[in-house]
Amino acid sequence: MSVREPAFRLEHDALGTVEVPAQHCWGAQTQRSLQNFAIGIERMPEEIVRAFALLKKAAALANRELGRLDEDRCRRIAAACDEILDHQWDGEFPLKVWQTGSGTQSNMNVNEVVAHLCARMAPQGPEVHPNDHVNMSQSSNDTFPTALHIAAALALEESLFPALDGIAATLRRLEAENNDVIKIGRTHLQDAVPLRFSQEISGWRVSLERDREMLELSLNGLHALALGGTAVGTGLNAPAGFDAEVAGQIRLLTGREFTSEPNKFHALTSKGELVFAHGALKALAADLMKIANDVRWLASGPRCGLGEISIPENEPGSSIMPGKVNPTQCEAVTMIAVQVMGNDAAVGIAASQGNFELNVFMPVLAYNFLQSVRLLADGMESFRKNCLEGLRADRGRMKELLDRSLMLVTCLTPRIGYEQAAQAALLAHREGLSLREAVLRSRLLTEAEYDALVDPEKMV
């Protein structure tokens, strides 16, 4: 008869012993958090777990360099962190966002998992304790803000920027393809003077490029790390030089320009850098909202709308109207924009809660910031691939609307004056005439004069 493996093992912490599921690597403090914070379904973002693994490895290497940690424990801690970074233990980080505002339980979750993995590597070796060794020279109060900055910066640099650059490149191609297309402009949703379709697209592209510049500027603050401040910013229990050494190790591990924040009291309590960076994300969301709305307006139809462009027909649009196709990619982008704008409110309010020496809204800051980056990056890539890549100008429709526009009269004002030009436009509108017919009927210009002056090519 086979012996059944026990379902639980006993783990202990300062409050006593706790039963932990035998198949998992976490310890007592993680288990207590699971039991005490069964709130919602939102788990700590995987980007935060990755950032914690990076900083725990960097801290072990720094502690070794400074003579605090022996080679064997350093090697095992680093190897355990590498396994976490390699996604071998994703199921070991189950904690919810809705926990202590300092993120202490998530810091301990990583400490406990790393210590457990170290024990597996060398069951007979010296103990690697989650607090004494994995958390050496650290506090949750400086590790979570550090993980938050690392995760935010890497999300921007590794995820958002490639998607942003991809959509800008597609818009640049569309500009080149449509440089010879002249269409009517619109202001206040009303007819305006002409412009090239490429000029309209260039406005979209440059808006996104300006957003990228603002996000790049925000990296200066995100690259500054709190690690080394420990509990309240004084660096208690961290050796001299630890902050600079650990920042250097993180720089080597990531290839990014991370540095040590010189004022740790600021780093622990203020989250202004996150507010600034998320403000740039909100600007990006606002511009994507405008671009997606422009695209779906210009593609409206196919028979009874503007119909100046066509976009890919990706899926049926109605369960009741056969043949209907909708601008679904535009709708996804605009919903993302709304979510990011809502997240910005949460980020700003959470950042305002830095009481005394610590901000205690960091998990919700992390959740909202990283969700915004993830949604924007994925949304831009989907919008580019499934909509913008297949966008085509309907040149015939653009010319038809251009020729019908009454606002071409604007180019006549230097010759016939504003009031007479306005009267001609109103006459054409009231009586259903073309602008040319109205000007000639009013005897404001001869045919030859009108044809010489009203040339859309000269107006753009």
Our CA angle for 426, 428, 434, nearest 5°, is 150
Contact 112, 77 (CB under 8 A): no
Q: What distance in Å separates the CA atoms of residue 269 and residue 260, rounded to the nearest whole number? A: 15
260 is catalytic: no
**Active-site position among 12, 87, 318, 429:** 318
- DSSP 3-state of 420: helix
Separation of alpha carbons 163 and 377, rounded Å? 5
Helix H or strand E encompassing 18: strand 16-21
Measured on CA atoms in the order 293, 297, 299, 302, is the torsion positive or negative? positive
DSSP states of 207-255: HHHHHHHHHHHHHHHHTEE-TT-TTTSS-TTSPTTHHHHHHHHHHHHH-
* H or E stretch covering 336: helix 328-351
Q: Cβ neighbours of residue 386 under 8 Å, at least 6 residues apart?
A: 312, 314, 329
Choice among 188, 319, 429, 442 that is catalytic: 188
Cα separation of 303 and 301, whole Å? 5
Q: For residue 40, what are the CA distances in angstroms to 34, 43, 98, 99?
A: 12, 8, 8, 11
390 three-state secondary structure: helix
Is 188 one of the catalytic residues? Answer: yes
Catalytic site positions: 188, 318
